[in-house]
Structure 1
Amino acid sequence: MNLQVYQTPQATAEAAAEAFAAVARQAVAERGVFRVALSGGSTPKLMYAALQGLDVPWAQVYIYFSDERTVGPDDPQSNYHTAKVGLLDVVPVPAEQVHRMEGERDPNDAARDYAALLPPQLDLVLLGMGDDGHTASLFPGTAGLKLGGRVIANEVPQQHTWRLSFTFGEVNAARERWLLVTGAAKAPVLAEIGRGEGEYPVRQVADPVWFLDAAAAQHLSPT
């Protein structure tokens, strides 16, 4: 595992923000644009705040999302809404370069249309991990774990809902994949993953960089 471990969630978020800024500058220098998919969760909120003061070439940044709840863009549960309030309303990224998943629409239609607007390859996909080992909206036992394509509508019975989500094929096609995971509740699953155990969905992410706080990493064996 490629582990980056920091003492607190705040320190983890700040480190991820610094790394984000660095890869954005590199992508723009090499290819003229930086294409990134954001995610939901608590750690990204801290990262968004840390990004506001950093040197990021926002005029050349294109924003996408790795998953979304089936809610509208103004709903507090929306990943887009969280990113908008915490980052996109503050930094000078052009509005036409922000591409949200339309969670208020029929999920299958929204997934099809979102797949059509994605670029051939993303530079970075940011992900989190739930206590059950899910990532994006690819939950244990759901059909989406085995579906192909780029974006899917995934029924999540344990949440009594549908979600929009990248497939693992889309996640793993990106140039880089980062997992931002904090909190002691994640430690048992991470320990199993570190030992190569458990059928957790997140294990299907290819060669990720893990940004962890000490609480989440507490049961991992030193490498």
Structure 2
Amino acid sequence: MRAGEALVAADENEHTALGAELLARAIDAAVRERGVARVALSGGTTPGATYRKLATMALPFDRIAWYWVDERAGAPDSPRSNFHAARADLGLDRPGAKSAGVFRMEAEDPDLSAAAARYEAHLRRAFGVASAVAFDAMTLGVGDDGHTASLFPGTGAAAIDDRLVAAIEAQPGRGLEARVTLTAPVLREARLVVVLARGDKKRGPLAAAWADGPDDEVPARVLRGAKGKVVWVLDRAASPSG
């Protein structure tokens, strides 16, 4: 059973606009209610257009704190860095850019478990040790293998529930670098999750994510337990319902 609702865009422009509008509304609501909006960003090519659109909108950028859902092991200026891409798309690397903080995962550390522990400690300080780590908005994608964040199938990563942030070992046989990632409990706590997907290659993985079955088989299924709102923003090619 699918978590949340699906919005199917007619074209790429509408897909971009839908994603940006959902995030903008969540940001505005969070700032009104709590004084700050905490947003967790995913990488990949799909969300870039949405981030660039968001950067042009009239938002209280000095009240937005930016975090990351996951990161590949490597330097923050690497072309493969999720931080590097999202920071550029949002204009956070421009002189004078305003924000309430930009908090990247330090995935250049050879000890990724230590990097994960530091990020978790920061989250607990930022949200309050006794509070749930509930991001106001979060972007996610779905990989061709059904992964989301850096929770990959067949690894047990989707079942990690004793940490907020985990180090994920490299899988050379699958061409995957080591990663640092938020865990499923954090994904489920977000007040709004916007899942962005486009193209016919995503139709099968999305259908699998919406079907019943073990989370470890298709980790995007972890969103079925989401406590907040989940919106799948798709184009017609990606939509399992056509």
TM-score by length of 1: 0.91
**What is the CA–CA distance in structure 2 between the aligned matches of 1:36 and 1:76, rounded to whole Å?**
22
Matched, 1:143 2:156: yes
Task: Look up the match of 2:241.
Answer: 220
Select the residue among 128, 134, 146 that pairs with 1:133.
146
Which stretches in structure 2 are left out of the alignment for 5+ residues?
Answer: 128-133
Amino acid aligned to 1:89? D
What is the CA distance between 1:194 and its match in structure 2? 3.5
Matched, 1:104 2:108: yes
Shift of the alpha carbon at 1:161?
Answer: 2.7
Counterpart position of 1:200: 218
- Percent same amino acid at aligned positions? 38
Q: What do residues 83-142 of structure 1 show as CA deviations (whole Å, max 9, x unaligned)? A: 111112258333x60000011002101000000111333112211110110000001112
Q: Residue 43 of structure 1: SS of its match in structure 2? A: coil
The residue number in structure 1 matching 2:18 is 15
For the residue of structure 2 that corresponds to 1:134, the secondary structure is: coil
Report what 2:30 is aligned to.
27
Pairing of 1:10-89 with structure 2 (within 5 A): 10-87=13-90, 88-89=92-93
1:129-185 residue CA offsets vs partner (Å, 9 max, x unmatched) = 101100000011123222221000012422343110000011112222221111110
Shift of 1:21: 1.1
Q: Which residue of 2 aligns with 1:161?
A: 177
Q: Distance in 2 between matches of 1:160 and 1:196?
A: 26
Residue 171 (structure 1) aligns with: 187
Determine if contact 1:9/1:43 at 8 Å carries over to the other structure: no
More displaced 10-residue stretch of structure 1: 99-108 or 170-179: 170-179
Matched residue count = 219
Q: Which of residues 80, 92, 101 is equivalent to 2:97?
A: 92
Helix, strand or coil for the counterpart of 2:151? coil
Aligned partners of 2:27 and 2:137 also within 8 Å: no
Contact 1:132/1:200 (<8 A) preserved: yes
Q: Which deviates more, 186-195 or 10-19?
A: 186-195
Give every structure 1 segment of 4 or more consecutive aligned residues whose post-TM-superposition deviation is greater than 6 Å: none
2:102 and 2:120 map into 1 onto residues whose CA distance is: 15
CA contact (8 A) 2:194 2:232 kept: yes
Alignment gaps of 5+ in structure 1: none
Asked if the contact 1:21–1:56 (Cα under 8 Å) also holds between the matched residues in 2, the reply is: yes
Give yes or no for the alignment of 1:123 onto 2:144.
no
- Given that 2:119 and 2:165 are in contact with CA atoms closer than 8 Å, whether structure 1 keeps it comes out as yes
Deviation at 1:195, TM superposition (A): 4.2
Task: Work out the CA distance in 2 between the residues paired with 1:185 and 1:61.
Answer: 33
Pairwise CA distance, 1:8? 2.1
